Amino acid sequence: MSGLLALLIFLAFTSAATKPNAGLKTWGRFSKLPYPGDKAFLYDTFPGDFIWAVGTAAYQVEGAFEKDGKGLSIWDTFTRGGNRMATGDVGSDSYHNIHADIRAIRQLGVSHYRFSLSWSRIFPNGTRGSYNEIGTNYYRTLIKRLKEIRVQPVVTLYQWDLPNHLQQTLGGWTNPELVAIFRDYADFCFQTFGNDVKYWITIDNPFVVARHGYGTGVVAPGIKNDPDLPFRVGHNLLKAHAAAWHLYHRHYRPRQQGKLSMALASHWIKPSRTRLESLRECQCSLDHVLGWFARPLFTDGDYPPCMKARLGSRLPSFTPEEREQVKGTADFFALSHGAALSFQLINDSLKFGQHEDLDLRMLLYWVNAEYDKPPIFVVQSGWYVLGNTKTEDPKHMYYLKRFIAEALKSIIIDGVNVIGYTAWSLIDGFEWHREYGIRRGLYYVDFNTPDMKREPKTSATFYRNVIQRNGFPELPENRPAQGIFPCDFAWGVSANSIQVETTPSQFADLSVYLWNISNNGELMRLEGFSVPPVRRTPHCADYATIRQQVDEIRQVGVNHFHFSLNWSAVVPTGDVAHPNTTLLGYYRCFTHQLLQANITPVVTLWHHTRQRSSLPAPLDTANKWLNSEIPEAFADYARLCYRELGAHVKMWITLNEPNDDMVSYQEGHQMLLAHALAWRAYDLEFRRAQRGKVSLALHMDWVEPAFSFSREDVEPAKRVLDFRVGWFAEPIFGSGDYPLGMRSWLRQLNSLDLPVFNEGDRQLVKGTYDFFAISHFSTKLVTHAKEDSYTYTAMLEVQHMIDTTWIMSPRPVVPWGLRKALNWVREHYCDVPVYVMANGVQEDPAHFKDSLRVYYLYNYINEALKAYTLDGVNLKGYFAYALSDQRDPGFGMYGQVHEEVIIKASLSNYRNIIQHNGFPIQGAAPQQCPSMPQPCLGCHVLAKGPVVGFLTLVGSGVLITLGLIIYYTARRHKECY
């Protein structure tokens, strides 16, 4: 698919007549980047002169809407009309809180602060004749205070709050007269503040002003019903910006040495299909939003051809003189990205059937390519949280992390000249058409307090740390480890089940064939002929499926193989006195053949699945595990398996992943008793003779606090681990009872659901393990702050979420989560031997070059090595999940097309890691391990019966002697002839 997309991009790009269509190559370029390596988080730093900024808009935060001579703006009147519920009359009251805002800015450590001037605070009726000295002094004071803390101002002349007088008397931006009026307003600002300002924004987000202020009516001044009016408004906005730019360039730049641009906002879009038409529609979508204003400024002074073709006479035209006046009037590309526009104010009509996305990195690349590599200053970026969110805003924090990380990749990997990043916004305020329903500030504002108290949110702490480190410098724990595992390390592969063949295929076909040796050597079946059925006892070698599966396992290079039995199939009636002997015989052969291949079988007695219970039919009643007979029945089933398979199986898992959140506490209690009885049975009745090990395997995805420095998030993470892992682990590996945190939390909720162990059961369960086995696949973040009801667990009072920088497939790929999970086991249960019994990732089965799985296995195993070598975890083995897509769809290292088995790339990569026993240091001496003993086919006979063994050896010697006599006799006779 990526190859086809790249070809389409090439065709589109080469056929483009004008240079601006260079942006078309963006989609093809990113489709060819290595996956998932390019999606992995980049640890690096920004250039030393990178601009770190934060911003606000006047109407959102200033308040004091009638204070000290300020005139009304269009937002002051717009918020009082229609069915709107709130106003920005007070906002965050920054007009009276300069000191609080300056303190917040200083705490963040930014180098620049972007703010907008309230036009109607300086010129109450919009023109110089209404000049307001007090309002102007507010901005003089603000700039002075910024200079005192060595923060540079980035000043926006117009951010949506046009003086209402200009709207009422002239029709606002619909009137070309505003071009000269705006130029005069800009002239005053340059003259008054210009000596202290090096970055100017003339107009913020003209797309929203034109389309939604004068088209849809969503924002002020709320005009609608004339579909062509937005294009006339956009035309006037461009000419007003150009007039201000030329004024500054001629009269102020030589002395003030500043730079000036227009802040342009954009979404991002991806093709819905890998067709040339879809790519052109993506380009056209960007042209209708960003290109509408960017092409006139950065290219040729005219609108994009796509807009002109689709809108025709609805789109105003520039005269040749106007084109020259508009073209080149931007000293840098001021880009706005995020919640002000994306997925908010872009309706489907502007997506042209394509898919909107939040990919800042691709947008930066597109701008770089489309507009001939301008310096790009991200002047607004961020996301939002709900209005009831207070200081804990991890969602906003992780979106910030994502956007900053994408900007870093854009610089380091893509070579885009990104010169700065502005987090939006400094403080909570009035959020335009969303009013106070959302919050975007890094600082929480309590709107109910007289002084509008500001408190830093988690996002502020995060942003401050990023600025202090100038990005994301690589830390020692982020670097791949070098080292090896011990010689006796268990390298394995897991499968939920194996393919079972109850009838040996070796003698199943009774047909007669003729070997056509004179032609192509094929076997030709003779119709009407068959051989009589063979009357013989089946042998293990008769099962073709066993040979095939063992050979596939052997090719992986592992020394262990983990699979599950099916309780309901082994004991269909539930009575162990009447087992399925054929199936047991097959399992016996399978485990025997594994041993012959030097592969240790690891067998699970019962594997929990949500789809089916796998309990024998008589026990699979409505009560299922709540049936009081089940623990003893499971122990009897375990005895049967130990007895029948124990000679070959030395590592047992009683229950695999019973700690599912769909399992009730009462069911879990029964499962714990069943495990304990099965373990005790082995310990008392079979261990002395078989010398094996028994435990259970727990599902243990890691749970990380969304904000690790916050106690409010650390506690929920501990709570989830108690309820998900400690629930089964603590009774067995710890105290013999459920975790104290689990009991106290449920007691606090007045819940009596958690059963109580009596003293006998406590002693029965406690200590029933030989090792600690976990299945680990992914990591989740948790926070105590409720944000999304779909991912909120009310009983535990935790909000589940993900880091938006993580690779997804479909669960997050977070290698360091495995290391943390292993350390949790060590911290709670000391030096217990630990096995990672299943670890794998789901990927499209059609991807035989399964690069995601290659990446996943390498990095997760590397984190396991860190846990072993650096943290002292007693790690004994690692099992990749899974062997084959046939049994575990999407997880296998073997794929299948029709009847052909395909070896995926991950298999050879995993085998290479196994062969090196980890990641040895380059140039180090090879690890010296004793060679593996080869299987002795007759040793078990000698061990069981010395006399029989002796007779067998004598008989073998006689046969060999007779064979030699016959051979030499025949040879002598042949020589005589």
For residue 218, give the CATH number of its domain: 3.20.20.80
Per-residue model confidence (pLDDT) at position 971: 47
- Residues 678 and 670: beta-carbon distance below 8 Å: no
**178/213 Cα distance (integer angstroms):** 16
Alpha carbon 873 to its chain centroid, in Å, reads 27
- Is 86 inside a domain boundary? yes
**678/686 Cα distance (integer angstroms):** 11
Number of residues written out for the chain: 977
Per-residue model confidence (pLDDT) at position 345: 79
- Is 904 inside a domain boundary? no
- Residues 105 and 152: beta-carbon distance below 8 Å: no
- Is 122 inside a domain boundary? yes
What does each C-alpha distance from 508 to 501, 513, 522, 527 come to in angstroms?
Answer: 11, 14, 20, 17
The neighbouring-strand residues paired with 695 are 653
Q: Element (H or E) spanning 773, and its range? A: strand 772-775
- Is 667 inside a domain boundary? no
Per-residue model confidence (pLDDT) at position 565: 96
Tell me which residue range forms the domain holding 443.
22-470
At 858, the amino acid letter reads Y
Matching residue, tokens 């830390």: 475
The neighbouring-strand residues paired with 55 are 114, 424
- Is 222 inside a domain boundary? yes
Total domains, the chain: 2
Q: Which residues contact 42 (CB under 8 A, 6 or more apart)?
A: 405, 408, 409, 412, 413, 472
Report the candidate in 333, 358, 297 with the shortest Cα–Cα distance to residue 420. 333
Cβ atoms < 10 Å from Cβ of 798: 26
- Is 288 inside a domain boundary? yes
- Residues 227 and 265: beta-carbon distance below 8 Å: no
**624/634 Cα distance (integer angstroms):** 12
Q: Which residues contact 445 (CB under 8 A, 6 or more apart)?
A: 92, 427, 428, 429, 452, 453, 454
Matching residue, tokens 């943390």: 820
3-state secondary structure of 224: strand
**394/304 Cα distance (integer angstroms):** 39
Per-residue model confidence (pLDDT) at position 534: 60
**869/893 Cα distance (integer angstroms):** 27
**C-alpha dihedral sign at 637, 641, 643, 646:** negative
Residues of the chain falling short of pLDDT 70: 1-20, 504-524, 531, 533-538, 611, 622, 932-977
**163/82 Cα distance (integer angstroms):** 20
Q: Element (H or E) spanning 92, and its range? A: none
Per-residue model confidence (pLDDT) at position 513: 62
What does each C-alpha distance from 395 to 147, 409, 459, 701 come to in angstroms?
Answer: 32, 21, 9, 21
- Is 731 inside a domain boundary? yes
- Residues 490 and 876: beta-carbon distance below 8 Å: yes
Structure-token pair, residue 676: 């304990």
Q: Given the DSSP bridges, would you call strands 779-783 and 900-903 parallel, antiparallel or unpaired? A: unpaired
Per-residue model confidence (pLDDT) at position 709: 74
Of 452, 470, 488, which residue sits at a domain end? 470
- Side-chain-side CA neighbours of 283 within 13 Å: the count stands at 25
- Residues 487 and 930: beta-carbon distance below 8 Å: yes
3-state secondary structure of 824: helix
- Is 333 inside a domain boundary? yes
**198/900 Cα distance (integer angstroms):** 67
